[in-house]
Structure formats: C-alpha cells, structure tokens
Structure 1
Amino acid sequence: MMQAKNIRVRLGRKEVLHGVEFTAQTGQVTAIIGPNGSGKSTLLKTLSGELVGTGTVLLNGHDIAKLRPWELAAMRGVLPQQTTVAFPFTVHEIVRLGLSNGLAAAEEDLPSQALAHVDLAGFENRSYQNLSGGEQQRVQLARVLTQVWEARDQDQPRWLLLDEPVASLDIAHQFTVLGIARDFAAKGGGVVVVMHDLNLTALFADLVYVLSEGHMWMSGTVSEVLNTETMKQVYGIDLPINTLPPTDIPFVLPQALSG
C-alpha cells in the first residue's frame, strides 16, 4: 500500500497542497486527475520523495522520510513529466541508468528487454538527442522499468509513479504505455499515474483521485468520479459525460458542447 496522510506542501510562499489524503493499493492503477495547476505533479513528487512537505508518506508500510535513497529506489521508479539530458548519450546509456538505482544491476540484457517492451527494439545505439519527443519519453520509461523490472521482490511490491506518461505519444503508443502500467499492476505491483486524458483514464484506471486547487475534491471508481458534476465543479465546463454499453465506461465527447 502507498498512503499519504495530511500532506501539505509549500512552494515559496504559496501552499499548493492542503492536507491531502491519498491511498493506492497494489494490483491497481490509481490515477490522479484535475485541471492545470491543481497540484497533481506536486502530489506525485511528494509521494516519490522528491518534494518534502508536512504530513507522512508511507510506502509498503515504510515512512519514506526514513528510507535511505537506495532503499527508496529499490521500491519505486519515477517517470517525471519532462526530463532534460544535456550530454550526448546513446539510448542504451540512458536506459542503463535505471540499473544503477535498482536491484538488477547485474542483468545486462535488461535495457534491451525494456526498450522492446516500449516498442523501441534496436534503438540502443541511437543518439537520444536525435529522437522525437515521444520516443524520448518511451526511452525514459524503459529506464524506469529497468529499475523496477519485476513487479514484486519476494513479498515486497514495487511501484511505478508516472507523471503524464502519454502526453507526447500517438494513440497507439498511448495504449502501449498504459498497457504496460496495467500489466505491472496485474503482476502485483502498484501504479500511480497523473493523467489529463479523461477517456484514457476511464479505460485504464481502477481508482481515480480528483484534485482541485490543491484540495482532494473526491475519489472513487471511474464511474463514481467521471460525471457531469465533476466537469462543472472541477473543470468549469458544462460538458455531459456519456457511457459506453455494455460496460458503462464513461467517456467525454467534446463535440457535445457544439450547438
């Protein structure tokens, strides 16, 4: 389990998270949604240990503030929203960095396996700087996967923390990446993902948290959370939510605003 209790985070003079409570279970994909500036990335950074506020974050029962860096790295891999690489690394060198932070450093074939997993087989010797934005994002995901390759280490689950992992991807690779997240959860790991695309959230998330202006507005299943009231109150748009039979999965149709 991952659990955050009464999380408050200040950036400069502004408090951007206000007493947030959050729980994610292994075996599930837990999504965090909300408008721009609502605190989604800040929350994910706090859950990962990158940002420190007040309150407590527990990962597999451990207070992350008391874990050594290598202990934390062995339990969770983090894909940030953007990654800047200033030096002329090859793709293999980038992905290989994940092994230095995880528990599988001796498994030299993992970078190639991870690249194949994100549909980049044969890219090992390509220059990272010459890739498209979507390809770079998938390289970074491959790096994270090498860090937590197995969803469970004996009795301890591992976690993927993903910040807008499909924002720069075409629709086919959006499904590839979110399919990887679902597979990781199905194997007993935990996944927490920040999302903007509500339709993809509806397809892949088991549990959804909605942030609004640094407050946790609500949480629940996709059907409980994605509704017309959420669109009005959180996103400020009068856009009806429809459902697809026979599963009744909610979906957002922007064209519904026309006319």
Structure 2
Amino acid sequence: MKAENIHVHMGRKEILHGVSFRATPGEVTAIIGPNGSGKSTLLKALSGEIQASGSITLNGHDIATLKPWELAAMRGVLPQQSTVAFPFTVLEIVRLGLASGLAAANDSLPAHALAHVDLAGFENRSYQNLSGGEQQRVQLARVLTQVWEAREQDQPRWLLLDEPVASLDIAHQFTVLNIARDFANQGGGVVVVMHDLNLTAMFADSVHVMSEGHIWASGTVSDVLNNNTMKQVYGIDLPISTLPGTEIPFVLPQAMVQAPNS
C-alpha cells in the first residue's frame, strides 16, 4: 500500500496536508498520534471511503480506478464505530462480510470467524443486546469473513482497523491484536490506528506518528517512540523506558502528586 501527497478537505478545512504513507505486506503498520491528528481520516482515505487528492495504490492498483467489488476483495475495513439500525442477529451481521468478499459460498466461515474472536455460539444472539466490546468483535468477525485468506492468487489482502481494541478488556485486546499479527504473518497487510502506545510497541513492525494532519515521523517502534515524540507530539515530558530483557519501548505515565499543605 502506498499513498503520495494526500490532501483531504472537510468543507473548507484541510484535514490532511500532503501526507505520504507506505505499508508493507507481512507487517503490522500502526498509525498513532493525539486526538484530532488525522489518524482516522488517513485510514478512511486509504480505504477509499472518503475522497482524497493525491495517489493511493493498493497492490499496485490506483484505488480510484477500482470497482467497489474489486476493492472489497482486496481489503476489509473495521471502522471506529458501527451503527446498526435494524434488529439483526450476530450471524446476519457477520454474513455481510461474505456478501462483500470472495467466499460467499462458504457457509461455515461466519462460525469460524466468530470462534476466532472468542464469540463461538453467539450466532443467534441479538446484536443490539451485546456489550460494546462484543459488538466490536462481531464487526471484526464480519471483516475477517471478507478477507479470510491473507493472500489471494499470490496477492496480499489487507486489514484496515480503526482503534480495534478501544472498547475491549485486556484479554480481548490481545485476542484482536494476535489476529492482526497472524494475518500479517500469513503474508497479508495490516494497517491499524492505535492509541495505546504500549500495545503498539508490542505488536507493530512499523509506526507512523501523526500530528496536525501531517506524518511527523515514521520508522520502527524504537525509532519513533521516544522522549522526543512524547514531548513534541503529545505535549508531555514523559520518559520512555524499555521492557526488561528487550528493546521494546515502554510508557509508564507517572503523575506528580503535590502533597496537601499541612
């Protein structure tokens, strides 16, 4: 996946200012940055969901020239939020991924996808009655049915995930990120918007740091997750340590608590 000189406008306001971006199949590529920095907007542009000027190519194809079904066959998109207005069952939601992908004849795939996200047996449950975290995992199962095989005819498929662990407990955060890691290990590409810097450091191969609609830095986790990033991008003077026995950066916020006057 490659993007060059991407500009996105919302009305008269420019949200992305000439962003260039690359992600490689076989890797988990994370996009991090403060709230309002343009992370979700960039992901929407990369997925073809919103209009952008510049050039965006997926597997060598300009996404502007692809038919909707061709784009759907190459990439699955998990948005930050999904609104369902009708009383669908879990199975009906997950089967929407079959309609968008190349495996529509595989009736067993939705059950496999639900088991993959730790929701086996939820097929007949009402989607509206699930918790927010369960709904998020149902939506991920839908996306997985769309691009179940990480490669198709020697071409990578892509998972584009916008804050996929934001509403999940810690165990299911690891479940979801391990799914992303396995997809990349099988030769697919993963682009994921993240807020949790420690999970990013544990799972990402490469990181793009965004600030005010620009890519502020790109590289490995060790390259970009440092004291300077914390100060310049997040506006907080917070030292970065490393996990014992590794070179993985580790962020441990520490509040300076002032003792009350006696």
TM-score of the superposed pair, with normalisation by structure 2 = 0.97
Question: Match of 1:9, as an amino acid?
Answer: V
**Aligned pairs for 1:31-180 within 5 A:** 31-180=30-179
What is residue 238 of structure 1 aligned with on the other side?
A: 237
Q: Indicate conservation of the 8 Å contact 1:162/1:194, yes or no.
A: yes
What is residue 252 of structure 1 aligned with on the other side?
A: 251
Distance 1:239 1:249 in 2: 16
The one-character-per-residue Cα deviations of 1:94-145 (angstroms, maximum 9, x if unpaired) are 0000000000000000000000000000000000000000000000000000
Distance 1:247 1:107 in 2: 42
Distance 1:152 1:96 in 2: 20
Assess, with a 3 A threshold, how the Cα gap between structure 1 residues 222 and 256 changes in structure 2: closer, same or farther.
farther
Distance 1:199 1:177 in 2: 15
Residue 229 of structure 1: CA displacement? 0.4
What is residue 219 of structure 2 aligned with on the other side?
A: 220
What is residue 185 of structure 1 aligned with on the other side?
A: 184
Residue 245 of structure 1: CA displacement? 2.6
Residue 257 of structure 1: CA displacement? 4.9
What is residue 29 of structure 1 aligned with on the other side?
A: 28
What is residue 8 of structure 2 aligned with on the other side?
A: 9
Question: Match of 1:120, as an amino acid?
Answer: L
Q: Indicate conservation of the 8 Å contact 1:110/1:146, yes or no.
A: yes
Structure 2 residue runs of 5 or longer lacking an equivalent are none
Q: Indicate conservation of the 8 Å contact 1:240/1:256, yes or no.
A: no
Aligned-pair Cα RMSD in Å: 0.8
Distance 1:32 1:258 in 2: 32
Q: What SS does the aligned partner of 2:34 have?
A: coil
Q: Indicate conservation of the 8 Å contact 1:239/1:257, yes or no.
A: no
Question: Match of 2:6, as an amino acid?
Answer: I
Q: What SS does the aligned partner of 1:255 have?
A: coil
Q: Return the index of the structure with the highest Cα Rg.
A: 2
Residue 258 of structure 1: CA displacement? 5.1
Distance 2:122 2:244 in 1: 41
TM-score of the superposed pair, with normalisation by structure 1 = 0.98
Distance 1:255 1:213 in 2: 26
Q: How many corresponding residue pairs?
A: 258
Q: What SS does the aligned partner of 1:126 have?
A: coil
Distance 1:258 1:188 in 2: 47
